[in-house]
Structures are given as structure tokens and as C-alpha cells.
Amino acid sequence: MTTDFKQQTTVTLAEVAEAAGVGESTVSRVLRNHGSFSGKARERVLDAVERLGYVPNRIAGTLASAGSRLVAFVIPSLTNIVFPDVLRGAGAVLEENRYQAVFSVTDYEPEREEALVAAMLAWRPTAVMLAGFEHTEGTLKMLRASGCRVVELLDIDGTAIDLAVGFSNREAGRASAEFLLKRGYRRIGYVGHDLGRDTRAGKRFEGFREALNLAGVPLVDREIRAGASSVGSGRAGLEQLLRRAPGLDAVYFSNDDMALGGYFHCLARTIPVPTRLALFGHNGLDIGQATPQPLTTIRTPRVATGKLAAELVINDHPSHVADLGFELIEGATA
Amino acid sequence: MTTDFKQQTTVTLAEVAEAAGVGESTVSRVLRNHGSFSGKARERVLDAVERLGYVPNRIAGTLASAGSRLVAFVIPSLTNIVFPDVLRGAGAVLEENRYQAVFSVTDYEPEREEALVAAMLAWRPTAVMLAGFEHTEGTLKMLRASGCRVVELLDIDGTAIDLAVGFSNREAGRASAEFLLKRGYRRIGYVGHDLGRDTRAGKRFEGFREALNLAGVPLVDREIRAGASSVGSGRAGLEQLLRRAPGLDAVYFSNDDMALGGYFHCLARTIPVPTRLALFGHNGLDIGQATPQPLTTIRTPRVATGKLAAELVINDHPSHVADLGFELIEGATA
DNA sequence: TTGAAAGCGCTAACAA
DNA sequence: TTGTTAGCGCTTTCAA
């Protein structure tokens, strides 16, 4: 219960050099295994490092050498498992290459994104990773002026600043509609969360409506819930929608969380799925495939997106838009 | 599709000073709003900053002033929503106070934790946040020698290095058992994930068995699944357990993910819950409360843990163990 | 209120 | 193969 351990044990490279009886640059070379040095020098340095418990100061190292090996993630949410999945994919690759991930969360607010990007740039990251293409003018300007790599994630429908990795949400929406139409559903509704903020969900919905229009099938009704997506919101949303439009035979949800909520509503009210009502989600979360009836949905390349994004940055790949595609899971709810 | 934007636009404080016609230290004072300067100086500096698009370099700032305002999270997983929740709680507080969160993921491997802690310390963070009390000797040694604050999260059953914020997993396990016993269940089983790695789940299970022993009720059978917890694993686990011990009247799960899987198994096999089989989870995830029957479980203070951890660090609070407790949700599955 | 100057701990020429 | 030295871009005395 004391704080007496809190003594900055600032062992510096100079002290290691002193203790090892070599010059500072030799210590630096040995530690980074770069440049040339004798076996004996190496031994003495490593010995001194061990004895003194030296931990290199990357702050100083970065300042002296430019490259920060810091990658900044500015993501909308940690609650929506989509983003932790991307972080996970990127994290593994970054770590192998001795990069460090820094992050902050925008809550889907473009103004917060701008502020957070500004804060991130102060760390001179190698790259900044953002969700999608919709940013404020200020964000764009800063990013372009920064000289660091920019990766826009989970979207390819738009104009990239530099790199973009993801899939077409618009196409995903279209594919979802086409599947429902092919299965013969004609009285179709939609349950979504706040689309103004989650622009990728908005693009899916647009693609979905486009395909319906093309087939001359009207969207019967829609229920847009305020706030973020969640299972609870999906459940309440479907209940609300069915109250207004009891004759629906299929519902498209803004994502799997919402769709799972819808599925639970059906279970609770013993609405037969899909015979009486079909449900279609988006993301292909594991949990949606473990329910009594696996969810009909689209599996998105979240981990792969993070992984590729990190690889492109590490290899300093030229500007590029990478489409990782998606996969329709037929499931049992549609 | 070009990389021509990639020109390091390194506007420095010196250039701002030059452009504003003041000294470097004046620019520094104005920008940090610290020390004294005239209104006129302020104006000229801010004007120059705006004109040049200056972004302060925190790497340099940190090196010059010691305090990094970096908080390092070394967490076991991003898949288990528990840790994103903690990050979320901490993130909000840190950001308000101009701290930056850095993270890496151990996959529940103590050796990886050690390596990652070492990497983190190189950034001279203000604090390192870890899950629980079980660390390698090397990790402990580094952390103690580092002079930075250490917060151990989501556990209080053990000896803290410095700060600890969480709840008693052992108590949670006990409370879960006592609840089942009080409800009259006597043929009790357990379905868990890899306990060697998730030591907090292990402590819950220990507490659970303790309470059963105290009541003279044996644990009929247990199914321990390899790998991380997941809904799918819980579902398969319950199926397996019931095959061996069909007479069970209640099952305790290592967490809500596993319990949801169990619940889905029951739905799929139309096993009446809780009349034929009761289910008990742990964590109180939202999704578990949106199922047709809300899960009987224990709500854990995940966001609050992150929040308090950040506050303690920011206020440089003396070493302390904070018990945030937990709450039993009666639900409808037990 | 202000500026000059000395570092912060390291890397990267450059000589030796 | 090695050591010396000049920065990296800031903050922080210290005088003025």
C-alpha cells in the first residue's frame, strides 16, 4: 500500500556504454543489431544491459531517427465487435514487425474524429487508420498535410485518401436484396440503427433499396432506431416494425446484432422463421451461427482487413484500394 | 493512385517562432498555455500556427519534459468483449485528460505478456494496465523496476503490484453457486473454457466449488473446452456434458458467451429452461438480456473498472485495491 | 513578458 | 570495428 517503488530508474544508454566500457554508438548498434561490432563488444553490452536492467527509450530513439513505428487507429466504436476484429487482425501483423498500435474512439462523430486525428498526428505515426471515407474537411486536410500513410477501412465505395481496405457495402446491400428476392420474398421491411452516423450501414441500405427498385419491389416499411446498433435495439425495432406492418414476409437488418435481436423477438413471440418471417443480417458474427437456426447473413472480412491494412503500411505500398469482398452465408433464417 | 502526397511536412516549433517573430520558448508557452506571455504574442503565435499548419511533435515534447501521457494496455483478448469494455471505460477518461492509449494483446499467454510489457515500457508510459494478478517473474520485475504506475484489472483476489481495480471472481463464483442452491438445484454441472489461461474464470470456478462443498452438494460433472470462450464452444460443451450426465438440473458456465451457447443448445433441442435445466452465466452482457429468456448471470463492472483505473492513474493515487463489486441478475434461466 | 541556451536519450554520419 | 559528435524538436531554467 505504498508508492515507494515509484522511483524513475532511468538507466540510459550512456550508462550502459560506460558500464560496458564501449562507446554509445556501439551499444546502439548492438541493441538494434545493425551496423558492425565485434562479438566481444556484443557480449559486454548485453551483459551490461542485463546487469543494469536497461530498457531502451523509444521516445528518444524515434526522435533521433524519424520513423516512429507507431500506427494510429481512430475507430468509431469498441462496442461494435467489428472494430476490435479489425484491430486484432492488424495487431498481430504490427507486433511481429515491432510496430505499436495506438487508438482512440470517435463514437461515430466526425468532429471527434477530427480532434482525435489531430491528437494522433502529434505522435508522428507511420500511418493513421480510419473507418470509411466520410471525414470532415479538417480531417482530410490534416491527413493530407501530415505526410503519413492513411488507410481507410471497411469501405471501398468512395474516394480514398491514400490506401483503402475493405469491401463494397453497397454491393453487400444489393446482394442481400437479391438473395431475398430470389427466395421469393416480396413484402420486405428494414430495421436499422442510426444511419447518419454509421455511413457504411447507410450504404448497405442504399444498395439494398437499389436492388429492390430494380426488381420493382417496394420496401414496405422501415424502422430506424436512434443510437448505436445492439441486440436489444434490433429486438425492439422488429417489434415496432411488425406492429405497423404485420404482413411483412422478410426483414433486412443493418447488421447481425440487430438481426439477432429480431430473431430473439421471433422466438419470444413464436413467429416461425423463416416460413412466416425471414431475417437477414450483416457481418457473419460467430454468435449468429451458433443460434438454433444460423442467421442468414453476409460474412465480412474484418480480421483480414486489419491484417492487409497493416501489411500495406509496413511494406510502404503505393496508394491502392483493396477489395476483400464478402461472402453470403445462406443460414436458416431466410 | 499516387504517393506524391507523401512528403514529410515537418513544420517545427522553430519555424513557427520564426514566422511569428518571437522566440521558441514563447511559442511553447502559448501553445501549452503555461507560463506568461502577452496577448499580442499569443495572437502572433496562433496566427503563425494556423498559417503553417503546425502540428506539435509530442515525441519531442515528451523527451524534453519526461511525462509521456501514454497509458499502455496489455490485455489478453479483443474477442472477449470484456476487454474492449474496459478500454472503452478508460479511453473516455484518458482522452479528456489528453492521455493516449496504447495497447497490445497477449492471447492469454504469460510469455507474450512479458514480451509485450517490455515493448510497452520502451515508450515510457505513465501507466501499464494488465489483466489480473498472474504474471511471470520477468514481468513483475520489469514492472517494479520501471517506476511507472501499474494497474491490474478485473481481479482483486491476489497481491497487487501497485493499483488494482475490479471485483472478486471467487466471490462471484460463490454467489452463483449459492443462488443455484437456494433455488433448489442439486444436480449441478459446469461448462468452461481453458481455465489455465483465463485465471479469472478459474477463480470463479474455485469459488463455485467451494460453495457447493460447503453445502455438501457435489459437482456432478464438468466439461472443460480447449481454447477461448465462445458461443459455439458453449453450445458444443453443454451438448457434450449432457451426453455424459443427462440428469443434471443446472449448469454453471464460465461466462455469458458460453452460457448463451448452452441456451441455444437448449432451444435447439427444446430442453425446457429452467424447469428441466437451469443455466447460469457470468458478465451480464447486453445480448444475454435480450434473449427470449434473459440469462441468469452476474453483471460485472467492466466499463467502471476502466474508468476508475484511468482516474486513479491520472490523479496519481497511492497504491490501492478497489473492489467495484458485482450484481446478480436473476434473469429467467435459473 | 521574453529569448538564449542547455539538455531530454537516442541515432547516424563521420573519422579514426 | 569503434568512438566522437551533431542533431532530432521540444521544454525549461535562467537572465534580461
Percentage above 90 pLDDT, chain A: 95
Q: Single out the residue of B323, B252, B261, B254 nearest to residue B288, CA to CA.
A: B261
- Local confidence band at A103 (pLDDT 50, 70, 90 cut-offs): very high
Task: At A116, list the grid cell.
Answer: 482525435
Q: Which residues touch strand D (CB under 7 A)?
A: A 21-26, 29, 35-38, 40-41, 60, 63-64; B 10, 12-14, 24-25, 28-29, 31-32, 34-35, 54, 56-57, 60-61, 63-65
Query: Side chain identity at A265, as an amino acid letter?
Result: H
Domains of chain A by start residue, with CATH: 13-56 (1.10.260.40), 67-167+302-324 (3.40.50.2300), 169-299 (3.40.50.2300)
Cα gap B292→A270, rounded to integer Å: 10
| SS3 call for B197 | coil
Residue of B nearest to A57 (CA): B122
| SS3 call for B223 | strand
C-alpha distance from B252 to closest chain A C-alpha (Å): 19
Nearest CA to the C1' of C1 belongs to which residue? B37
For strand C, the positions having any atom within 7 A of a protein Cβ are 1-5, 7-14
Partner A contacted by B138 (CB < 8 A): no
- Number of Cβ atoms within 10 Å of the Cβ of A321: 16
For strand D, the positions having any atom within 7 A of a protein Cβ are 1-13
Task: At B93, list the grid cell.
Answer: 477518461
Query: Side chain identity at B326, as an amino acid letter?
Result: F
Whether a cis peptide bond, with omega within 30° of 0, leads into B274 is: yes
What would the pLDDT profile of B84-123 be if each residue is shown by its tens digit?
A: 999 999 999 999 999 999 999 999 999 999 999 999 999 9
- Local confidence band at A9 (pLDDT 50, 70, 90 cut-offs): low
Partner A contacted by B65 (CB < 8 A): no
| Per-residue H/E/C for B77-138 | CCCCCHHHHHHHHHHHHHHHCCCEEEEEECCCCHHHHHHHHHHHHCCCCCEEEEECCCCCHH
What would the pLDDT profile of A113-140 be if each residue is shown by its tens digit?
A: 999 999 999 999 999 999 999 999 999 9
Which parts of chain B fold into alpha helices (H)? 13-20, 24-32, 39-52, 58-65, 82-96, 110-121, 137-146, 169-182, 199-214, 231-244, 256-268, 302-314
Cα gap A144→B10, rounded to integer Å: 13
Q: Single out the residue of B118, B197, B199, B194 nearest to residue B158, CA to CA.
A: B199
Cα gap A73→B87, rounded to integer Å: 14
Nearest CA to the C1' of D9 belongs to which residue? B60
**Degrees to nearest 5, angle at CA B127 with B126 and B128:** 140
What would the pLDDT profile of B120-132 be if each residue is shown by its tens digit?
A: 999 999 999 999 9
Q: Tell me whether residues A142 and B63 touch, CB distance under 8 A.
A: no
Please give the distance of CA A243 from its chain centroid, rounded to a whole number: 35
Mean pLDDT for A275-299 is 98
**A8 has a pLDDT exceeding 80:** no
pLDDT of residue B67: 82
- Local confidence band at A164 (pLDDT 50, 70, 90 cut-offs): very high
Average pLDDT, chain A: 95
B297-326 residues touching A, CB cutoff 8 A: 318-320
> Which residues are CB-contacts of B86 (< 8 A; sequence separation ≥ 6)?
B75, B153, B154, B302, B303, B305, B306, B309
> Which residues are CB-contacts of A96 (< 8 A; sequence separation ≥ 6)?
none
- Number of Cβ atoms within 10 Å of the Cβ of A183: 15
The nucleotide closest to B42 (CA, C1' atoms): C1
pLDDT of residue B92: 94
Partner A contacted by B14 (CB < 8 A): no
* A216 CB burial (10 A radius; 0-12, 13-18, 19+): exposed
**Degrees to nearest 5, angle at CA A177 with A173 and A181:** 170
Partner B contacted by A1 (CB < 8 A): yes
Q: Tell me whether residues A290 and B232 touch, CB distance under 8 A.
A: yes
Of A8, A57, A290, the CB nearest to B147: A8
Task: At A292, list the grid cell.
Answer: 438454433
